[in-house]
Amino acid sequence: MKIAISPKHLNSTVMNILITGGTGLIGKRLTQILIQKGHKVSILSRTKKNSNTVTYYTWDIENQKIEKEAIADAELIVHLAGANVGQGRWREKRKKEIIDSRVQSGNLLFQEVKKHNPNLKAFISSSAIGYYGMITRETPFVESDAPGNDFLAEVCTKWEKTANQFSELSTRVAILRTGVVLDKKEGALAKLLTPIKLGIGSALGTGRQAMPWIHLEDICQIYLHLIENSTISGVFNGVAPQTITNYEFSKTVAHILNKPFWVPKVPAFALKILLGEQSVIALEGSAISSKKIEDSGYKFKFKELSVALRDILG
């Protein structure tokens, strides 16, 4: 695999870029960045919307339908769509929804690209660090490590398999295994802020589990990096270089907000009762290496949690 490491490899060509999941946390910010860079952006949505800056096309994943023009006009696809794994208890129906939202949508895109745009330049897909399994270990995971054997690992394995089939069309494929994306209004940080602002913040479980995090701006800039560097392909971890435990993470947030931090931790059994199987997201976590994406030439804007949080929280 070739990896771009110097500016001369940058592809400055304006492209027609199609985004799925464009109304989500990452999708919204990435769309803004791409437009600022001069790219033409289209978004696949369940409903038509009016916009002066973005073209909206409709798709129906369940019935495997999509507007042909969305695919035919795209030079590059960024696939971010997928049901939120943090919403709803993981009963069998919800698990199926989480997997199907990724696999069925990816398969629909593949079939339509094969029919209407077999010369697509690149397919860039989201994945997650759940690929490695929700366990706590000391050695950081790297991209070549085997997948885990739990539900999230199953989701990510099937998700990535769907993306990799685009290589059959000689399309460049890049996959980004994303960590905890930090934003004030959405995601894990937004949920964590409530108890801390109320003065009842504390670590979860043992507090020793790692929380591989990344600033929203960095994850979006990494996507831009993968989009505009035409020689980069393969799998990359989308996490900041600094490894932080759940205890350190929560304590840092409390410190920046000038709020008390309680030494007694939220017991694991309480989270298991409240969340069921889904509690592994909060109770387990290992360090994840960012070396490969850095070796590709990407330079993080936010390497340290305290700096990232001050930027987000003000």
Q: For residue 204, is pLDDT > 80?
A: yes
% pLDDT > 90, the chain: 73
Q: Rounded to the nearest 5 degrees, what angle is found at the Cα of 114, between the Cα atoms of 51 and 237? A: 70
Q: For residue 279, is pLDDT > 60?
A: yes
- How is residue 43 written in tokens? 């978004």
Q: Please name the residues in contact with 228: beta carbons below 8 A apart, sequence gap of 6 or more.
A: 10, 11, 12, 37
| pLDDT of res. 12 | 55
**Taking a C-beta distance cutoff of 8 angstroms, is the pair 286, 295 a contact?**
no
Q: What is the CA radius of gyration of the chain?
A: 19
Q: For residue 9, is pLDDT > 70?
A: no
Q: Please name the residues in contact with 35: beta carbons below 8 A apart, sequence gap of 6 or more.
A: 41, 53, 54
Q: Sorting pLDDT into bands at 50, 70 and 90, what band is 162?
A: very high
| pLDDT of res. 19 | 98
Q: For residue 105, is pLDDT > 80?
A: yes
- Give mean pLDDT, residues 95-118: 96
Rounded CA separation 275/266 (Å): 13
**Taking a C-beta distance cutoff of 8 angstroms, is the pair 227, 78 a contact?**
yes
Q: Please name the residues in contact with 18: beta carbons below 8 A apart, sequence gap of 6 or more.
A: 41, 42, 43, 44, 57, 70, 71, 73, 74, 76, 77, 78
% pLDDT > 70, the chain: 96
- How is residue 3 written in tokens? 């990896």
Question: pTM above the 0.85 mark?
Answer: yes
- Segment 206-247, tens digit of pLDDT: 889 999 999 999 999 999 999 999 999 999 999 999 999 999
CATH class name, domain 15-246+272-313? alpha beta
The dihedral of CA 71, 107, 60, 179: what is its sign? negative
Q: Where are the domains of the chain?
A: 15-246+272-313
